[in-house]
Amino acid sequence: MIDTITAPLAGGRVEAVWMAKAQTANWRTDEIRFRVTAAGIACESSNALKFRQRPTTSWELKNVTHPSGGGFAPSHEKHDVRLERNRVHFSLKLRTHGDPFDATKQTAAKNLIEGVWNNGFSGKKFHRAACGRGNTCDCSFDCCKVDFRLDVNFVTSGEHLAVQVFATAPGDPAHRSSMNGDGGQWGDPAMTPATTYAHETGHVLGQHDEYSSGATDPTSPPAQPANATTPNLMSTPGNTTLLNRHYRYALAYLNSKADGDAYETIPPGE
């Protein structure tokens, strides 16, 4: 038994509401039946509740530009994306050229970028807006919740963009890194090792700078402020904080594929 609901019997009818909630990780195939007990008689429903299935998609290329202010090149969404059973999945393929950037450095960069963007979504979910439990939904399973994942891989061909590496000797000024849909430049070592590569990757996930001298969001009102009130990856060197707005294009993709069943980010925030 999952739950018990008490409701009045009137005119031979019982009207009661049960807020549907997945009971197991197999919610996609689970069937939930109802038993009604009234006037000393118990009957079980002949039909069964099944949960609505969320669509999935194959990989597709995103290649969308978003104009920047301040005379800068646009930010891009340039990566592969698909909607999986429980998450929106981004895949970014980079090819390095220029100064050597060996497998050890590539692995470190991959882990850093993935860590910042995936950890930035921890504590967040894309949540079905029509869920009757609202923003405080306590479902343990993903019947009404969707996660996010970014994978970064270094390749020798078939890249989304090529990144030219500029190595600097110890004591020399670090090369200023940049990225957009046309390619990128990485200083080795990075100017701010904890965040530079992850910040620049943000520019090919559609993100603008959130400091006034950078490639800011020129829309009105801006989705991303030119002077962020909350320090974050796109505003402040060394800060790995990511806010709801930094995943808005992942949410938009989900909503474009969800057959009109809208999602929003929880908990609510910037």
Q: What does the pLDDT read at residue 46? A: 76
Q: What does the pLDDT read at residue 41? A: 79
Q: What does the pLDDT read at residue 66? A: 97
Assess whether pLDDT exceeds 90 at residue 2.
no
Q: pTM of the predicted model, to two decimals? A: 0.91
Q: What does the pLDDT read at residue 100? A: 98
Mean pLDDT score, 189-197: 98
pLDDT in tens, 21-63: 888 888 888 888 888 777 777 888 778 888 888 999 999 999 9
Average pLDDT along the chain? 93
The more confidently predicted of residues 29 and 183 is 183
Mean pLDDT score, 112-135: 95
Q: What does the pLDDT read at residue 124? A: 97
Q: What does the pLDDT read at residue 1? A: 66
Write down all domains in the chain, each with its CATH number in brackets: 60-265 (3.40.390.10)
Mean pLDDT score, 242-261: 97
The closest alpha carbon to 116, from 80, 163, 152, 66, belongs to 152
